[in-house]
Structure 1
């Protein structure tokens, strides 16, 4: 059963249909939020807030076929709201290099460390670039879906992707991290 059919069932009063939607989307939304905020506890809370908002506003969704962009927009808004309420990023650590340049990082860093480096680098990007990279590279959304979610032209999404990836490369260069080390994570 697809999302639109589940939405129709939920609107008809079948609460179990919403539970199915939550089970289907819980992992992708959690992963998106986690990449955005960089903190597991905050990500769990924001994921829960996303589904609460979706539950309360499901009847307002005009086109059930656009559920993907709608749920990501709710998650993004929850992240932005949380960011306004409190700082989710420690600004004093943003420009601190990660690796000790006296030891080659390729020999020291394992898979989890690479993920941590990448998450930290993502937090250094402007929000508009970070969101596009997360949606495209981690969530697997198409450029058209991202443009729809963010309510911007598709070429804007593509340029944000380009500039975001360029900025990530500069961050890794500044940290003396080889691009090959993190490429497989993107």
Structure 2
């Protein structure tokens, strides 16, 4: 059953249909919010608030085929509110960001390279920890774009809709966010054996 069909059932008075939507989206939403906020308890709170708000406002959703996009836009607003309320926003001051002339479509995508050998699990956990730390060092607007694109494989058009901005602005934030991540890992002396960069 599609999201749109479940929403129609919910609107028809079958509240259990919303439980199915929660079950379908909660893991994806939690992973996004966790990377956005960088704190497990704050992420749980944000997810709960997101689903409560979605439950209350679901009758207002016009295009029911875009439930996921709508849900993420609610989550973004709640995350922003939480960051402001708890003054948890952290940025890393970096100098010398230089453009290399390539468009965002040709920019590298950073992914964790599975480690080989007996210490593989420890190394992979360490790489994930470093990636999460680096994401938290990004400005909020860049972090949101990178998390949605790299971890959730959303299209630039979808991200633009969620964040209510132009597609070019989204691509620009992706470009500068990736440049900042490269700089951070260079400063941390993270080897290419631990993190692979694809151009």
TM over 0.5: yes
Superposed displacement of residue 180, structure 1: 4.6
Q: For the residues of structure 2 that align with 1:179 and 1:142, how far apart are their CA atoms?
A: 27
Query: Counterpart of 2:109?
Result: none
Q: Could you list the runs of 5+ residues in structure 1 that have no partner in the other structure?
A: 96-105
Looking at structure 2, the residues matched to 159 and 85 of structure 1 have their Cα atoms a distance apart, in angstroms, of 27
Q: Which has the higher helix share?
A: 1
Alignment TM-score, normalising by the size of structure 1: 0.86
- 2:146·2:174 contact (CA, 8 Å) conserved in 1? yes
- Pairing 1:104-123 to 2, within 5 Å after superposition: 110-123=123-136
Structure 1 counterpart SS, 2:194: helix
**In 2, are the aligned partners of 1:169 and 1:179 still within 8 Å (CA)?**
no
- Tell me which residue corresponds to 1:125: 138
User: What TM-score comes out, normalization by structure 2 length?
Assistant: 0.80
Question: 1:37-76 residue pairs with structure 2 within 5 A?
Answer: 37-76=37-76
Q: Is the 8 A contact 1:7 1:17 kept in 2?
A: yes
Q: Does 1:174 align with 2:187?
A: yes
Structure 2: unaligned runs, 5 residues or longer: 94-114
- Root-mean-square deviation (CA, aligned residues, Å) is 2.1
Contact 2:90–2:137, Cα closer than 8 Å, also in 1: no
Deviation beyond 4 Å, 4+ runs, structure 1: 106-109
1:159 is aligned, of 172, 175, 180, to: 172
Could you say which structure has the higher strand fraction?
Answer: 2
Separation in 1 of the partners of 2:176 and 2:51? 31
